Structure 1
Amino acid sequence: MSIQSPTLNVSILSKDANALAKEITNTWAEPTSLHICQAVTTSEQINPDEVEVLLADPNLAAKVIDQCTGLKWCQSTWAGNAPLLNLDKSDYILTGVKGVFGKLMREYVFAYLLQYARNIPAFAHNQNHQPPIWKESPRAPLTGKTFGILGAGSIAQALIPVAKSFEMKVIGLSRSGQAVEGFDNVYAATDLLKFAQEVDHVVNLMPDTPATTGVLDQAFFEALKPHSVFINAGRGSAMVDDALLNALNSGQLQAAVLDVFTQEPLPEQHPFWRHPKVVVTAHTAAVSSPEDVAGVFVTNATRYMTNEPLLYQFDFNKGY
């Protein structure tokens, strides 16, 4: 990689463009060596001829990136980059955001697992009933249960210490099935149903790739235990909606907590909204802040200017 100029010219295309520009300016050690030439919130506003280094929301960048003929590096503001990876253009370096989502995902996943383990919905129902009901509700402690994580990357690994604090067994699933520190076992993707049969509760954190599309199908949900809680906080494309609904309706699954969907926002008429065994959240399980993204960008920009390898690079062939 060669640097064209001692000054790094940066274009920002993001719904948080102004906040990102402010954070980067405040964080950058040598202001004269970095120039933010444009910071815009819509793809229509950007001048593609000025783009050499792009900090962008992938959904916005996907609309203009083919026109950015001088692009050398794009720093995504997201962990996943499906909108860009699905395009033909790949003659640039694409990096994502990592290391900032783990703590948020821990809160999300275990907030809901504990809700069902302690049967909080039943107590809320009893309190709101007229007259209120004083009644002990059955509980299903997490201790001794097997927690399954679809995916074995950095976000998945961040969940392990919390699961272990509840004395849970933790198993994962990855493309290769190679051992990963902290997991009691990691299955290969070809052993998905064996994985499903072993878990008590499961969270999907798989990336959005052709290999993961539709893999959480009827066979997967039928392999789960009837007391299982399924959490989808990875990508909506991995899950077959009708298969999940069938499993919930037949009693094959206790509950589902869904944060990601094939179509977002989730259409108002979608049955997930009204299903008594489904919790819908608006793709908010682990939302990065401008401060987090700016920190990753500044670290990578420093490496870019000194010809060091950039962190969190995506492989266009693998899709992650």
Structure 2
Amino acid sequence: MQMAMSTQLIPFTSTPRQGQLINLNFPNKSLTITRCVIRNSDVHTSETQRLVHHFNPKTPIEEAVTPPTSWYTDPSFFHLELDRVFYRGWQVVGSTEQIKDPRDYFTGRLGDVEYVVCHDDSGMVRAFHNVCRHHASLLAYGSGKKSCFVCPYHGWTYGFNGALRKATRISGMRNFNVNDFGLLPIKAATWGPFVLLNLEKENVSQKEADSHNVSKEWLGSCSEVLSSSGIDSSLSYVCRREYTIECNWKVFCDNYLDGGYHVPYAHKGLVSGLKMDSYSIT
């Protein structure tokens, strides 16, 4: 008799603090880990804390200096940024036009987290970790329309509500409950034409993700201004282009936020069409 081996993936959580005790609970009792002691976390090392404390946000701009090289090259500092910047709060991941019809979906990656966003048959926008609960294979690729998500590894099948519809070759397996093996949800919301995810709020009920709360958390005091005049509704989604840039993410941001400082030297063909005296990025 052939039988599928079953393991359960735990939801994504922030990296535990040094010495923190955590519980990893699995429905399959033979795979239960009761406690795990994290003795050395990359995110919360003393060196990382030293790098953070080196920065003084109250320094006047006239006295500010370039951040230290370690902020761009130290792996532990990058993991801290993932945890504190990208894995907390709302992040834009796509356009509502990508999932305007039932059973539309698109996939992506935020840091180390693979996700799939979809429009279910009830009209709700949902998001899940894009990982099969069986052996951790990626479940969906790219974007498009499907009737369900079928794992390309062993054929486990999931509905657009995340429920496990079919698990192949599990006949005779004890203590297996399909309700324990649905896709792991990620909090999703929409605001204007944007689809947003929040990895920090995975356990919050769907009713709390209304557009007003999302805009306040995401945009703060700018939300009212942008709601009334900041979104051009005549623009339509055309396609998504991805570029791999071999640099730390802050280098790309620094380049844009230098206020055009580099434009006369790096973009000589562009500068002739700009009024550099009044050029602004705001």
Question: Into which bin does the TM-score normalised by the smaller protein fall?
Answer: under 0.3
Provide TM-score, normalisation by structure 2.
0.24
